[in-house]
Amino acid sequence: MNAAAQAAAAQQAAPTPPPTAQFTDLIGELQKLAALQQAGVLTDAEFAAAKAKLLS
């Protein structure tokens, strides 16, 4: 097996690391914003602005 094939096999076999706390918090905040938008508390523009602020 050549070096490139070995590297590809090793990369596929590597376990996926768990999400970081920061990433988990971001997902939770986005879910809260989406719930507020769906409930009619946030307009589409307010949701977009809040989402952009979180993702920046």
Q: What is the pLDDT of residues 1-45, one digit of tens each?
A: 566 666 656 566 667 777 787 778 899 999 999 999 999 999 999
Angstrom distance (rounded) from CA 24 to CA 28 = 6
Assess contact for 48 and 36: CB atoms under 8 A. no
- Residue 19 Cα to chain centre, angstroms: 9
Count other C-beta atoms under 10 Å from residue 33's C-beta. 19
For position 53, what pLDDT does the model report?
A: 94
Residue with tokens 């809260």: 32
For position 21, what pLDDT does the model report?
A: 77
Q: How many CA atoms lie within 13 A of 26 on its CB side?
A: 11
